[in-house]
Structures are given as structure tokens and as C-alpha cells.
């Protein structure tokens, strides 16, 4: 549930930013969702699964909550970095880009 709310937030955030920067909003919203899920999946299956071993499959409620929350936070962090480093630099007027 937390992940679904987070991905909707990321999509809306990217959509509104694209409108403000005069970029194609649906494409950037989809890109934000893809970047979010990429960070989420890499953290969940590439880092936590090997790190936790059998505890990844058989975990307590608190460990499961920590796994989910940390994956959501990493996804949001990666989407935020992508927005700051790539998306925001695509927008703006030519004067702002070349000055």
C-alpha cells in the first residue's frame, strides 16, 4: 500500500514538473515511475535478498515493514536524483541552458 501511494506521488510530481518545464508530461511521468521501480527492485532483490538470506523469505512483521519502507525510500531517492540531474536540466529556455 505504501509503495502504491509512493509511485502515484512520483508520477504526479514528474507530471507537474514536466508541465512547468514545457516537456511532454506523460512521457516524463512514465519515466519517473520506471526509475522508481528500478531503484525499488534493485534494492529489494539485488541488495536485501542476498543480504538477508533466508530471513528475506521468512521474516517477522517488523522486518517485513523495514524491507518495504527501505525499498520505497530508495525508489523515491533514485527518482528524486533522476529528476534533479536529468529532467530539470532538460527544461528551461535556451538562454538558461547556454548562459
The predicted-structure confidence for 13-71, as pLDDT tens digits, reads as follows 999 999 998 899 999 999 999 999 999 999 999 999 999 989 888 889 999 999 999 99
In a domain, 98, yes or no: no
pTM for the full model? 0.82
Cβ neighbours of residue 84 closer than 8 Å, sequence gap 6 or more: none
Mean pLDDT of 6-13: 95
In a domain, 97, yes or no: no
In a domain, 84, yes or no: yes
Q: Which domain holds residue 40?
A: 2-92
In a domain, 37, yes or no: yes
Model confidence at 2, pLDDT cuts 50, 70, 90, reads: confident
- Give the whole-angstrom CA distance, residue 44 versus residue 7: 16
The CA-atom distances, in angstroms, between 86 and each of 11, 57, 66, 91 are: 16, 36, 30, 9
Considering only residues 74 and 92, tell me which one the structure prediction assigns the higher pLDDT.
74
pLDDT value at residue 35: 95
Amino acid at each position: 500500500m505504501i509503495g502504491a501511494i509512493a509511485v502515484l506521488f512520483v508520477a504526479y510530481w514528474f507530471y507537474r514538473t514536466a508541465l512547468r518545464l514545457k516537456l511532454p508530461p506523460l512521457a516524463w511521468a512514465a519515466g519517473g515511475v520506471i526509475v522508481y521501480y528500478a531503484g525499488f527492485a534493485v534494492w529489494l532483490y539485488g541488495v536485501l535478498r542476498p543480504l538477508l538470506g533466508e530471513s528475506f523469505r521468512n521474516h517477522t512483521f517488523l522486518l517485513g515493514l523495514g524491507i518495504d519502507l527501505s525499498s520505497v525510500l530508495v525508489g523515491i531517492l533514485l527518482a528524486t536524483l533522476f529528476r534533479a540531474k536529468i529532467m530539470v536540466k532538460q527544461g528551461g529556455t535556451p538562454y538558461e541552458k547556454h548562459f
